[in-house]
A and B are shown apart, each in its own frame.
Chain A
Amino acid sequence: MGLTFPLLATVTWLAALGAVALRRPVYAALSLVVALLGLAAIFLTLEAQFLGMVQILVYVGAVVVLVVFVIQFTRNDEVPLTGLAFRPVSLGVGIAVLVTGGLIACIAGTPEWAVKPPEGPPPGMRQIGEGLMGVYVPALEAMGVLLTVALIGAVLIAMRGRSTSLH
C-alpha cells in the first residue's frame, strides 16, 4: 500500500474539485473522467476488481460520454461561463453544509476507527453474482422495471417531438 492510496486520493480529489470548479464544461467533464478513473483505481487497490471495472465501464464509458455528447450539441458561446452557480447562493451553501455536516457526523459517530483486514479471501465474481441473484433479486428486478420505464419514457418523448413537427 504505502504511497498508493495517498497518491490516488490526491489525484481523485483534485480532479473532482476540477470537475466542479473549472469554468469550461468540457474541462469539467474531462476532469470528471480523471476523478472516476482515480476512484476505479482505489477500488482495484481494495481488491474489488469487478467494481473498479464497472465503475469505468458505466461512468466513463456511458455517463461521461453522455455528458460529452450534450456538450457537443451546444455551441461554445451558448454556455454561460459565469452564473453556473446556485441561486440564491445561501441555498447552495446551506445544502452543501447540510450534506457535508451529515456525512461528518456519521463518520464521527463510527465507533471503531481501526481498519481490520477482511477475514478470508475477498469476495469474487461468484459471490457478487449469487448475491444479485439471491438475496437482492427484488432490488435487481425493481431496477430493471425502473430502467425499462425510463426507456419507454424516452421513446415516448422522442415520438411526441416528431409528431408535433410533422403536423
Chain B
Amino acid sequence: MTALDQIFVNLKHAIVALLPVAWQTPGSMVISAAAIVGTFAGLFAATTWIERKGLARLQNRMGPNRVGPFGLFQPIADGLKMLTKEDIIPRQADKLAHTLAPIVAVAPVIVAYAVLPVGRNMVAVNLEAGLVFFFALGGMKEIGVFMAGWGSRNKFSLLGSMRAIAQMISYEIPLVVSTLVVVMAVGSLSLVDMVEAQTGYHAGLLARWHVFTPWGLGGFLLFLIAATAESNRSPFDLPEGESEIIAGHMLEYSGFKYALFFLGEYMGLFAISGLGITLFLGGWTAPFSFLAWVPSWLWFFGKLLCFIAFFVWLRGTMPRLRADQLMGFAWKFMLPMVLVNLLVVAFWQFTRGWEFFGAGVWRWVLGGGMFAGAAWGLARLPRVGQPTGPRVYRFAE
C-alpha cells in the first residue's frame, strides 16, 4: 500500500537520481513544477467538460456531445480553437498592460500551488509561512485584473475590473481571517503541519478533521462562501455579469489570452479549494480509519473533484447577487462572523482540559451555540423594526 501511496514521490526520486549531482536540486524543482502545472492544467481541461456537462444536466440539455465519446474531447477542440484564433489588441488599448495582464493573472496562481500538500510527502516546498505565501500570491491576482480592465480602454472592461477588485478586497478579509482559526488551533502557518494536525481518528473511526469541531464547521462554511466570492464564481460572478457588462475585464480579449484568463480563474478555484481541503477537510487523510489504505493523493484529488462538482451545482442553482447585497454581506455578516469564530476557537482551545462527564458535548453545545447565535443575530439585525409577515412577490403582469 505504501508503494502505491508513494508512487509519485519514488518516481521523482528515481528520475532525480539519474541526473548528475550538480543538476539534482534544480532538476527536482523542475520536476515538481512540471508536475503541478501539468496536473492542474489537465484538471482545468477536464473541468471545462465537467462544468458544461453538469450545467447542461441541471438545465435539461445535452451539453457537448459532438467531439469524441460523450463529448470528452471537447476541451482539446476548444484549446485548438483558442490557439488558432486571431489575437486582437484594440488600437486605443494600452498595449503593454493589455498584453501583460493575462500573464499577471495566471502566474501567481500557479506559484501558489507550491505550498499545497497534495499527498503524503507530496508538497513542492514546505514553507514555514505557507499560508501567508498562499494569500500573498492570491492578492497579486487583483493587479492582473486591474491591468486588463484599465489597459483595454473600454468602459465595460473598466467597470468589470472595478467590480472585481471591490469584490476581491472585500472578501479577501473574511477569507484570510476565516483561516486564522486553524492557525490558532494548530499553532503553525505551514500547510504541511496543518494536515499533520488532522491525522489520527476519534474513537479509532472518524478522522480528526477540523470540520468536525464547531469552529471548524463554522470556519469551513465562511471560508467556502468567501472562497466562492474570491474566485468570482456564481452567485458572486458580478465582475463577469454577461447580461450587464458582457465579460467585464475580459471583454477585449480574444484567442489564447482569453483562455489564459479562464485558466487563471479555474486554477485559482482549484487552489482555493485545495486550501479549504488542507485546512478543514484533513488534506490527504482518509475520513474513516478503515479507508486509510486508499492512496493519499487519491483522497486529495477526490475531495477536489467533489469541490468542483459543488461549484458547478452552485452555479447552476443560484441567481447572481446585486452589488449592494454583495458588499453588505461581506462587511455586515461575513466579517463579524469570522471574528466571532475566533472567539469560538479560543473557547475550544481553553476548554481542552475539561475532563468531566459529557465535556465534549458541552464544548460542542457552547461553542456551536456561540457561532449559531451570532449568525442568527447578525441575520436578524438588519430586519429589526421592519414589518414582518409573508413576503409579497409581484411579477410582471
Contact = CB atoms under 8 A, between A and B. Distances in A.
Q: Do A and B bind each other?
A: yes
Contacts of A57: 132, 135-136, 139
Nearest 8 CB-CB pairs, A to B? A61-B139, A56-B136, A53-B132, A57-B136, A50-B129, A53-B136, A68-B146, A65-B142
A54 B146 contact: no
B136 A65 contact: no
Contacts of A68: 142-143, 146, 150, 165
Contacts of A56: 136-137, 139-140
A159 to B, nearest CB: 13
Contacts of B189: 50, 125
A64 B169 CA distance: 12
A65 B172 CA distance: 12
Given A65-B142, A72-B150, A54 B136 contact: yes
Interface residues of B, number: 28
A66 to B, nearest CB: 8
A124 interface: yes
Interface in A67-120: 68-69, 71-73
Contact of B143 (A30, A54, A71): A30
A57 B182 CA distance: 19
B136 A69 contact: no
B97 interface: yes
A49 B129 contact: yes
A8 interface: no
B342 to A, nearest CB: 13
A132 interface: no
A57 B98 CA distance: 24
A72 B161 contact: yes
A71 B161 CA distance: 12
A65 B139 contact: yes
Contacts of B140: 56, 60-61
B54 interface: no
A27 to B, nearest CB: 9
